[in-house]
Amino acid sequence: MLAVRIKEKSMLPGIRERKDAHGALASDQDGILEAFRRFYERVYREKKEDENLERDMMNFFESVSFGRLSTEVRDLLEAPLTFEEVQVAIKKLPLGKAVGGDKIPLEFYTFI
């Protein structure tokens, strides 16, 4: 009876060992906890460095002078699609591919 309970307990999920950042294996509770503590400390410290990187990138892009589109080009890019543009795009689609989320094969659109 006791052997069965010990076996059941040993089969329960749990963390039995953990490698630290240096590859050393910890198998006692204190060592495992310390490995996790150091891991998450490093993860959140790196997050702060990522925030600094994001700030630096924003500063860079604010200092860069981007050109402006002419009104004519902007109007052309923002214009609604024409029926002819859609037809040309459909004809260029590769056939024989798997269907998308709408479950309609591309071949269907080629006959419209």
Give CA 90 to chain center in angstroms.
30
Provide the pLDDT confidence category of residue 95 given band limits of 50, 70 and 90. confident
Overall pTM > 0.85 = no
pLDDT at residue 14 is higher than 50: yes
Residue 25 CA to residue 93 CA, distance in Å, equals 54
Residue 101 CA to residue 82 CA, distance in Å, equals 24
How much of the chain, in percent, has pLDDT values that exceed 90?
15
5: tokens are: 């309970």
Give the model's pLDDT for residue 78.
Answer: 95
DSSP tag of 97:
P
Q: Where are the alpha helices (DSSP H) in the chain?
A: 2-11, 29-63, 71-78, 83-91, 106-110
pLDDT at residue 7 is higher than 60: no
Give the model's pLDDT for residue 12.
Answer: 45
Provide the pLDDT confidence category of residue 1 given band limits of 50, 70 and 90. low
Residue recorded with tokens 């923002």? 78
Average pLDDT score over residue span 75-100: 89
